[in-house]
Structure 1
Amino acid sequence: MQRYTTTTILLHWLIAALIVATFLLGLTMVDIHGLTPTKLKYFSWHKWLGVTVLGLACLRMLWRLKNPAPAYPAGMPRWEQVSAHALHSLLYVLIFAVPISGYCYSLAAGVPVVYLGVLPLPVLMAPNPELKPLLKLAHYVLNMILLGGVGLHVLAAFKHLFIDRDGVFKRILPRSIIN
């Protein structure tokens, strides 16, 4: 059975965990009424996590260029291979698009992003009250599409694990878990 590289596995699970944390933090912070110190702290953490996801996604893409994914099992139907490839491609696009849309939304709102509270990120656009609601909506919609894509990805992984039993799921697990 061909496996993903250790670096790919590490980046996959780290990015997945950060996306879940960022999403849950986003849901929590928008539920807080008013402008409180806690809400401001959560917004900062949310942005820091988003920037971290974007940075790790860049590393993952660079790594992927040199280390392609293992081939699908020979018995995997063509439609399933095409669907898996399309979903993976969508997830890669969204892993970039979601944090970029959030970054642009923050800038349009006139709130610069200062990574970890010490590293100001470039201000690529001036505050733009007209663009702000569109970017807010884009960030929300992209997040919902990402949520759906991740849900499909997890369902497909479980299908391979429990129904097909073809080893596809185990290729992305750390060796310490499958041994």
Structure 2
Amino acid sequence: MTHRDLFTVDYDERYTSTAIGLHWLIAALMICGFALGWIMTSIHGFTPAKLRYVSWHKWIGVTVFALATLRILWRATHRAPPLPLGTPAWQRTGAHLVHALLYVLMIVIPITGYLFSSASNVPVVYLGIVPLPRLIAPDPTLKAVFKTAHLVLNYTLAALVLAHVGAALKHQWVDRDRLLSRMLPFLK
């Protein structure tokens, strides 16, 4: 076995199609949700466009929460492919930590947004059809707490996503271990 073989991914060791689909769907929704959050908070007042963006942002959050829950259940019953044998221990630890934090944030961020809406006395009506119950009573103090938590956690998520993407690109183009092919089926 050569040094290069230690860092090469076996093409049979890929994520399942379900895991890949959920990964990219959730990633796309999170990018859209973050972009909408960025845009809507820069609009002053309560314009029709801002209210529409807020609704879409909430719908995305609820959807991400549901899909992330499904993804976690899938992951609990389907083993992730192993990292290449030659991956240093610190990279293995870092990868596991970042993945765990990403899963936690995919659940906690929508919850903080939902609680922020409840504390703000603003209902969440999924897709404009299904009213979701308020979990807490309106409260200006909790509104400020959940707004700050939602914001801080979103920026934390953005930083972790950048680290995740950076690590994947490093593996693809610097290490050339084809690790990215586990999540991008068209890479051979």
Q: Which interval holds the TM-score relative to the shorter structure?
A: over 0.9
SS of the aligned residue for 1:178 comes to coil
The answer to whether 1:169 aligns with 2:176 is no
The answer to whether 1:159 aligns with 2:170 is yes
The answer to whether 1:41 aligns with 2:52 is yes
Shift of 1:65: 0.9
Query: In the alignment, what sits opposite 1:178?
Result: 187
Give a deviation string over 1:14-61, Cα, whole Å, max 9, x none.
000000000000000011111111100100000000100000001101
Shift of 1:123: 1.2
Q: How does 1:10-29 map to 2 (within 5 A)?
A: 10-29=21-40
Report runs of 4+ in structure 1 exceeding 4 Å deviation.
none
- Which structure: larger Rg? 2
SS of the aligned residue for 1:130 comes to helix
**Amino acid of the residue matched to residue 22 of structure 1?**
G
Give a deviation string over 1:74-100, Cα, whole Å, max 9, x none.
011111101100110111111111111
Shift of 1:68: 1.5
Q: 1:61 aligns with which of 53, 67, 72?
A: 72
Structure 1's unaligned 5+ residue stretches are none
Q: 1:85 aligns with which of 89, 93, 96?
A: 96
Structure 2's unaligned 5+ residue stretches are 1-9
Q: How does 1:87-106 map to 2 (within 5 A)?
A: 87-106=98-117
The answer to whether 1:112 aligns with 2:120 is no
Q: 1:142 aligns with which of 137, 150, 153?
A: 153
- Between Structure 1 and Structure 2, how many residues are aligned? 177
SS of the aligned residue for 1:131 comes to helix
The 1-side partners of 2:100 and 2:158 are apart by 15
**Structure 2 length-normalised TM:** 0.92
Shift of 1:178: 2.0
Coordinate RMSD, CA, aligned? 0.8
The answer to whether 1:31 aligns with 2:39 is no
Query: In the alignment, what sits opposite 1:50?
Result: 61
The answer to whether 1:125 aligns with 2:124 is no
The 2-side partners of 1:25 and 1:49 are apart by 10
The 2-side partners of 1:130 and 1:7 are apart by 41
SS of the aligned residue for 1:173 comes to coil
Q: Which stretch of structure 1 is more off in the superposition, 164-173 or 152-161?
A: 164-173
